[in-house]
Structure 1
């Protein structure tokens, strides 16, 4: 029994939180007016018996803060809450929870099966020799103190964050017939259920002990509620997927029962066997009267029926006997209203507006609102007074969405010929699929590096047909001269020249690598020309398999018509200048740090952990470890070493170095996931070993061989690096100035709005919900745009108001144009579903001079579905 006081008490607690929020002024209030309204609506629904609700607020309006308030109210009523979320959002959730419960130290997200099992470990269970066992115990205690593991048990944690990654656990088949500890939980649980004793096997003794403790914790829950299981199975030889399917409910029992389940990004991973679906259907063990709260800005993305999939997540399996009022009832009843509304919304944008069509929409919108109303509350920018005031005052939206068309004139004759030939190849019926897809290779820059590097001998050219020969890029071209990449460079550098940061999204990795490399190369040349410091000793000659590398990017930048004057014109000469400046800077730095080094060594010898850490870093990376550490500290503190004059340097003292290193490690610990064990010096304590692993992983990003004016965030970027880039991008003076993000990595959950209001979309998406999420990274509460607008400096200089600028790079006249047109049509459908915006811009323009049409549009706007929590 959890001692939970019930939902009536939670509702009273929510009203109290709303009362407090409404009693404070805007500057000191934890919640704004809309968030207070949402909290009161949740309380109202609870009192009415509703136990499922979806917060579908538009991106950046503070959904997490509302959920944190609910979690706080549940905890204060002795209830338990589970937060199911995508990887990488744990730190943001901890920050929001701390607003309402400053003294509550929420556990880091549960990400791995190893962490789950180690949560049941006890000191001495490993059976190791004394020294090794003490080391193991210390590491276990360190993980508990850092809130990676529970201090007592998982079931005692009132708030538990569970990452989607947790449900991707694997159980490899044992080698040589032995049963590894990862497969110990199920046979131990079965033995308890059958009243038998299971002997402890050798190997991984501590994990096996912990697995048996987990089995006992799960077995103890059977008295409250039975758990149907299939027994007499060979757990050693069962395929990994089957084992995972069987073990998930047992893990859920060992974690304990939850009264509240919060589902962050509830639209993600819609498949039945996705990680999120596994957690919600098999892992989470809910109380007899649970409440589910879903959160997403895009509950529907490509088609209207996705409402059903999203709502099913919060309602659970359909129950025909339920009342259908948002209480887990039969969701099939809402299918017809959703379909009819989507159909009439499309007709409004393609057919002439008349009385019959408007009346049909009014009826369909009413039914749509009635069907979804019990399940959904949604605030969008229509309810934001400041943004509405912007539109009324300036006659335009605060979002400036621009199509940047790369026309034939901009492309040039050679690139234009290649694009046209690639389009022709895609239409020729006798060509193979690979050849037809050449239009993607050339027009979007995907795989262009491989095409350019293909041997272009006379024999190979002769073997190609007319169209294939002409689909090859110009002879002296590279991916760094691709018209779309250069168009993006022009937009980005125009913004950064004004001191503004830029967020770039794309789907294809080769162009993203090329753009990042080229921006860095051009920034380096500008710094050399202006006599400013560049944090590299030479041009980085290493390159990933997906990009051509920094050397080729520098050569392309040197050939550019706008290359700065007065700089060396070869890579070799540039390297000599970089090395001379870097060595000169290092000599001055070493002279400044000589006494600091002696003091650090003395403190390390006296047992100071942070001083020991710095000493180890100092000796690492071929004696260049301290340079990496200082660069990391300066970047974190916005000390601007990246843009200083060559002669300028930050002055460091022993006290300052120790203090800021300690703060850096603490921050890395907060943002870290479970790190694998690495080789570390003997004789170190568990705490020292853990801190060294953290700092080494972080400093690998500061190689001293390349700049960081632009950085790439993609699938292989380590979690701690993602957090570092997010934090650095949100600081005004620190690099990167440009963050280039692969679409699937940076589109959801990340807050990148504090210093950025410029977004560049390099590639068109198919899913408009993805684009909304991308723009939503900078369109959030207290964004850079709002700060600039409120400051009013633009008024003093007689300039137009600042806006959120979104530039869509489009290759004009080809397949890329078709792709963008399809996205825009789907975007219209999305706005109709989520914003009630069903009138085409053409009709709105014609209404300026047509009073009758204006009246019809006014009726449509008034009838548009609105789920604001009134």
Structure 2
């Protein structure tokens, strides 16, 4: 194995990369000016002996590219890298790594204990009957080919991606006193360390053999650095948590040692017992001189002390061997400058500017910069030349944040009455908790059917008090008519009518589902009214309420069917006509696919399992064949144009096979370990074949959640999430609207290629979440920049395009208070991360008040700026000031 050449050599490689990129220029180079500055700073820190750095660039500025450059340099110098990342980002990291090394074959992220163990598997391990063993061996080989598992040992992988969720693994207690293979690793290692042989038990024999190889791999590391495995225990009896604590460092040893650890979204899961903290603590086995690189756009979100919490993941491991707690002291030294700066920045937003306040800010800002400087580099949009030029030329920010207020007069009498009554219930002193919560329910639309529309089961409406009776909506009202939902629909459709895609974020699933279904129902009515094709044979049962609300809407399109029955009749009639028209072409194509399958074409053979030979099947409606064609048509950018003519796509066999292969590739890539997860008894949790993976996708694609608008939430399978991301980034293809639950779609995902409009349906408490949400479309090479550079707006005499953020807000109640709190916290966050400390009211007066303008200029000059400057040096002398001395000791 090649020996790591050291960090000085890595620094040379980084400087060479920067020089090469500079020669090529920003248009052709992989690294732009800011990224080149960042890797030069990293090179300088490496030469100074520093071994921890947080890249805290604003969302969308290419942090991953900087990390990929460092990883490539480490790889070329013989070092190993672990990338610890949130689930769902593996494909994006693989794409970045391939930019630096076209032959890169980095594995998909390691997400489960089962995958870790199966990585040590070999053909024939299971001792099954010939047919069953062949199937298991083929599955193992397929997983290696798909780059889910290593071809050799885990420790031979130069770059290893590990999911944040990996250390959530559980070890259930065995039933009937048996020792399942999930608890085999510790007793196997214990036996090996004492020179004893452990007999193979029945059940899960393949997994047990793989586990014993993992134990051997861990034991071999004891020659390098011993590992204390504790006293002998009955591993069948310990709790799952205790077993996990014991096994995590053993797993780390079997994965091998790492020179570089990259922590993507380093601010996430801050708890000491979170899966990410377990990975960075007992699991990751680092070399004697490791480097940790953290990546996050939001190192601080709500509390200024979160700076220390984030940085601890980078610095604390280096001081772990000391007993004096000095690493904690170094981080504690950050508390006062961070707190003082946050407090003073907040005062700037509320107090009149004066000499004393500005001087105080200048003092605190310098202390803040000096304290964080050794830890952090950060580029924000202040350093983006294009965006600075945009602001200077047009006099506005490139982000257009709009409040979409739902005024009481726009709610309608019934909704307004219920809204006011629910607000009153929330402040009455003797009201029970369930009644108080109706305020939140009515404003967010969460659980309306259960909590608002239906009276309590144990009491009649007549028995309720005045306010409780009025908090009930009349019979027949539904969530699809909620004022906030209606306002969101109006905002979204204004954008889609211009051909623009829209990204929607919300926190509560029920309103998000309602919005998705209503948007889809309204799109269907427009298509039917205009005589365009709609890919459904009938109205799905789960969408009838949404369609009923769309039919009742005042803006229901002229010429649309008048009832659900009429809609179903028209859908079946038109779909049947289209099917009959292209029947001959599809059957000819089917015959060609059969011929190619007989010649061994893999995609053709898979298609025949959905569309069997000798069974023409129903080629429309809800058959698997129809759904398969619909799923493929959804991938093509010309799909809307095909619908515009009233016709679906006329396929050729070559085109269908090409699109089918692309779909299968995206499915397997997006599935990750979910594609092959197995139960503890060794049986498959679902058939792990490509056919089952494709069939599962077709079920999800069958229209239950729509096609024009799609919902991305916790229950969306990993492979479908990946496909939705790809489709949303593809010009012209559906979905036009992606409705995302904020916990699922807010971090890491690139959704910017065709979208510059974001709708925030629900207010967040955490401004860092909002920055992450907007950051999905505010990125390099975004749709906004493409539209701006295209210049169509200029030719038509229009205002320049901007990134639009629409905040849906119910006026006059708790929802307004919620948004006000978020705006206040957002201002504090931007002061700490974006240098945006001057209050809006002061900005508005600086042109007419020379004294005020001078104070504002002083604030701007004093604002902390962690832009990567290679010339920055930190005092590492024996007698520096106390705070910086501790920092220098542990970073230099």
Instruction: Please indicate the TM-score interval, normalised by the length of the shorter structure.
Output: over 0.9
Give the C-alpha shift of residue 690 in structure 1. Answer: 2.9
- 1:632 maps to 631
Matched position secondary structure for 1:700? helix
Equivalents in 1 of 2:675, 2:520: separation in Å? 32
User: Do residues 585 (structure 1) and 578 (structure 2) align?
Assistant: yes
User: Do residues 44 (structure 1) and 37 (structure 2) align?
Assistant: no
User: Do residues 342 (structure 1) and 330 (structure 2) align?
Assistant: no
Q: Deviations along 1:848-869, whole A, 9 cap, x unmatched? A: 2110011011000100000000
Equivalents in 2 of 1:492, 1:635: separation in Å? 21
Q: How do residues 812-823 of structure 1 correspond to structure 2 at under 5 angstroms?
A: 812-823=811-822
Give the C-alpha shift of residue 676 in structure 1. Answer: 5.7
Equivalents in 2 of 1:2, 1:199: separation in Å? 36
Q: Which stretch of the first structure deviates more once superposed, 699-708 or 112-121?
A: 699-708
- 1:521 maps to 521
- 1:598 maps to 591
Aligned pair in 2 of structure 1 residues 351, 631: CA closer, same or farther (>3 Å)?
same
Q: Which stretch of the first structure deviates more once superposed, 801-810 or 136-145?
A: 136-145
- 2:702 maps to 703
Q: How do residues 571-582 of structure 1 correspond to structure 2 at under 5 angstroms?
A: 571-582=564-575
Equivalents in 1 of 2:333, 2:242: separation in Å? 35
- 1:796 maps to 795
Equivalents in 2 of 1:707, 1:389: separation in Å? 41
- 1:441 maps to 441
Q: Deviations along 1:558-615, whole A, 9 cap, x unmatched? A: 1111111222211111101111111222222322111222222233344332222111
Q: Which stretch of the first structure deviates more once superposed, 508-517 or 765-774?
A: 508-517
Give the C-alpha shift of residue 413 in structure 1. Answer: 2.5
- 1:808 maps to 807
Native 8 Å contact 2:404 2:806 kept in 1? yes
Native 8 Å contact 2:516 2:705 kept in 1? no
Q: Which stretch of the first structure deviates more once superposed, 668-677 or 739-748?
A: 668-677
Native 8 Å contact 1:516 1:712 kept in 2? yes
Q: How do residues 747-826 of structure 1 correspond to structure 2 at under 5 angstroms?
A: 747-826=746-825
- 2:359 maps to 359
- 2:381 maps to 381
Matched position secondary structure for 1:230? coil
- When normalised by structure 1's length, the TM-score is 0.95
- 1:114 maps to 114
Give the C-alpha shift of residue 819 in structure 1. Answer: 0.3
Q: How do residues 405-444 of structure 1 correspond to structure 2 at under 5 angstroms?
A: 405-444=405-444
Aligned pair in 2 of structure 1 residues 217, 706: CA closer, same or farther (>3 Å)?
closer
- When normalised by structure 2's length, the TM-score is 0.93
Q: Which stretch of the first structure deviates more once superposed, 147-156 or 403-412?
A: 403-412
Give the C-alpha shift of residue 530 in structure 1. Answer: 0.1
Equivalents in 2 of 1:476, 1:655: separation in Å? 51
User: Size of the alignment, in residue pairs?
Assistant: 854
User: Do residues 843 (structure 1) and 842 (structure 2) align?
Assistant: yes
Across the aligned residues of Structure 1 and Structure 2, the Cα RMSD in angstroms comes to 2.1
Matched position secondary structure for 2:480? helix
Q: Deviations along 1:833-860, whole A, 9 cap, x unmatched? A: 1012111101111222110011011000
Native 8 Å contact 1:524 1:707 kept in 2? no
- 2:886 maps to none
- 1:614 maps to 607
- 1:300 maps to 300
Native 8 Å contact 1:533 1:642 kept in 2? no
Native 8 Å contact 2:666 2:723 kept in 1? no
Q: Which stretch of the first structure deviates more once superposed, 514-523 or 588-597?
A: 588-597
Give the C-alpha shift of residue 707 in structure 1. Answer: 3.9
Aligned pair in 2 of structure 1 residues 340, 735: CA closer, same or farther (>3 Å)?
same
Equivalents in 2 of 1:320, 1:131: separation in Å? 52
Native 8 Å contact 2:525 2:561 kept in 1? no
- Unaligned segments of structure 2, at least 5 residues: 679-686, 870-892
Q: Which stretch of the first structure deviates more once superposed, 178-187 or 641-650?
A: 641-650
Give the C-alpha shift of residue 443 in structure 1. Answer: 1.3
Give the C-alpha shift of residue 513 in structure 1. Answer: 0.9
Matched position secondary structure for 2:806? strand
Native 8 Å contact 2:705 2:711 kept in 1? no
User: Do residues 724 (structure 1) and 723 (structure 2) align?
Assistant: yes
Q: Deviations along 1:469-510, whole A, 9 cap, x unmatched? A: 111124442111111110001100000000000011111111
- 1:238 maps to 238
Native 8 Å contact 2:516 2:706 kept in 1? no
Equivalents in 2 of 1:803, 1:715: separation in Å? 30
Matched position secondary structure for 1:849? coil
Equivalents in 1 of 2:107, 2:456: separation in Å? 58
Give the C-alpha shift of residue 640 in structure 1. Answer: 0.7
- 1:557 maps to 550
Aligned pair in 2 of structure 1 residues 483, 4: CA closer, same or farther (>3 Å)?
same
- 1:313 maps to 313
- 1:733 maps to 732
Aligned pair in 2 of structure 1 residues 188, 582: CA closer, same or farther (>3 Å)?
same
Native 8 Å contact 1:398 1:803 kept in 2? yes
Equivalents in 1 of 2:551, 2:700: separation in Å? 26
- 1:546 maps to none
Q: Which stretch of the first structure deviates more once superposed, 30-39 or 454-463?
A: 454-463
Equivalents in 2 of 1:677, 1:857: separation in Å? 59
Give the C-alpha shift of residue 338 in structure 1. Answer: 0.8
- 1:98 maps to 98
Equivalents in 2 of 1:143, 1:177: separation in Å? 32
Equivalents in 2 of 1:478, 1:332: separation in Å? 53
Equivalents in 2 of 1:336, 1:569: separation in Å? 67
Equivalents in 1 of 2:561, 2:320: separation in Å? 76
Matched position secondary structure for 2:44? helix
Q: How do residues 47-58 of structure 1 correspond to structure 2 at under 5 angstroms?
A: 47-58=47-58
Give the C-alpha shift of residue 433 in structure 1. Answer: 1.0
Matched position secondary structure for 1:534? coil
Matched position secondary structure for 1:231? coil
Give the C-alpha shift of residue 357 in structure 1. Answer: 1.2
Give the C-alpha shift of residue 701 in structure 1. Answer: 2.5
Equivalents in 1 of 2:674, 2:64: separation in Å? 27
Q: How do residues 646-661 of structure 1 correspond to structure 2 at under 5 angstroms?
A: 647-661=646-660
Native 8 Å contact 1:535 1:706 kept in 2? no
Native 8 Å contact 1:107 1:150 kept in 2? yes
Q: Deviations along 1:54-98, whole A, 9 cap, x unmatched? A: 000000000000000000000000000000000000000000000
Native 8 Å contact 1:536 1:706 kept in 2? no
Matched position secondary structure for 2:68? helix
Native 8 Å contact 2:184 2:208 kept in 1? yes
Native 8 Å contact 1:61 1:780 kept in 2? yes
- 1:172 maps to 172
- 2:884 maps to none
Equivalents in 1 of 2:148, 2:705: separation in Å? 34
User: Do residues 33 (structure 1) and 27 (structure 2) align?
Assistant: no
- 1:140 maps to 140
Q: Deviations along 1:302-358, whole A, 9 cap, x unmatched? A: 01100000000111247399999x999821121111111111111222222111111
Matched position secondary structure for 1:846? coil
- 1:685 maps to none
Native 8 Å contact 2:127 2:205 kept in 1? yes
Q: How do residues 674-685 of structure 1 correspond to structure 2 at under 5 angstroms?
A: 674-675=673-674
Equivalents in 2 of 1:861, 1:257: separation in Å? 45
Give the C-alpha shift of residue 458 in structure 1. Answer: 13
Give the C-alpha shift of residue 27 in structure 1. Answer: 2.2
Native 8 Å contact 2:418 2:471 kept in 1? yes
Aligned pair in 2 of structure 1 residues 706, 360: CA closer, same or farther (>3 Å)?
closer
- Unaligned segments of structure 1, at least 5 residues: 543-549, 680-687
Q: Which stretch of the first structure deviates more once superposed, 120-129 or 162-171?
A: 120-129
Q: Which stretch of the first structure deviates more once superposed, 129-138 or 191-200?
A: 129-138
- 1:263 maps to 263
Matched position secondary structure for 1:644? helix
Native 8 Å contact 1:442 1:473 kept in 2? no
Q: Which stretch of the first structure deviates more once superposed, 743-752 or 24-33?
A: 24-33
